[in-house]
Amino acid sequence: MTSHTDFDVAIVGAGPVGLAFAGWLANAWGDRANRIAIFDAKPLQASAQDPRILALSDATRLRLGSLAFPSNATPIHHIHVSEQSRFGQVRMKADELGLRALGWTVRYGELVTCLSDSLERRGVKIFRPANVKYAHRSAVESLEVLELEDGTEFTVGLRVDAEGGLYGEAGERDQVVDYGQWALVSEVVLNVEPGLLSGSNTLAFERFTSEGPLALLPISTDQRKYSLVWCAPLETVQRRLACSEHDFSSELRQQFGRRISIEHIGPRKSFPLGMNWRDKLVQGRRVAIGNAAQILHPVAGQGLNLGLRDAMQLCRSIDPSTVAVEHRLSTALHDFEKSRVADRQVVVKMTDWMVKGFSNHNPLLGAGRQMALNVMEFTPPLRKQFAELMLFGLAV
> How confident is the prediction along the chain (396 residues), in pLDDT tens digits per residue?
444 457 999 999 999 999 999 999 999 999 999 999 999 999 999 999 988 999 998 888 999 999 999 999 999 999 888 876 555 677 888 988 788 999 999 999 999 999 999 999 999 999 999 999 888 888 766 789 999 999 999 999 999 999 877 776 666 788 889 999 999 999 999 999 998 999 899 999 988 888 888 999 999 999 899 999 999 999 999 999 999 999 999 999 988 878 899 999 999 999 999 999 999 999 999 999 999 999 998 877 788 999 999 999 999 999 999 999 999 999 999 999 999 999 999 899 888 888 887 655 555 444 444 555 444 444 555 555 555 555 544 444
Buried b (16+ CB within 10 A) or exposed e, 201-217: bbbbbbbbbebbbbbbb
Q: With beta carbons less than 8 A apart as the criterion, state whether 101 and 54 touch.
A: no
Distance CA 348, CA 342 (A): 10
- This prediction has a pTM of 0.88
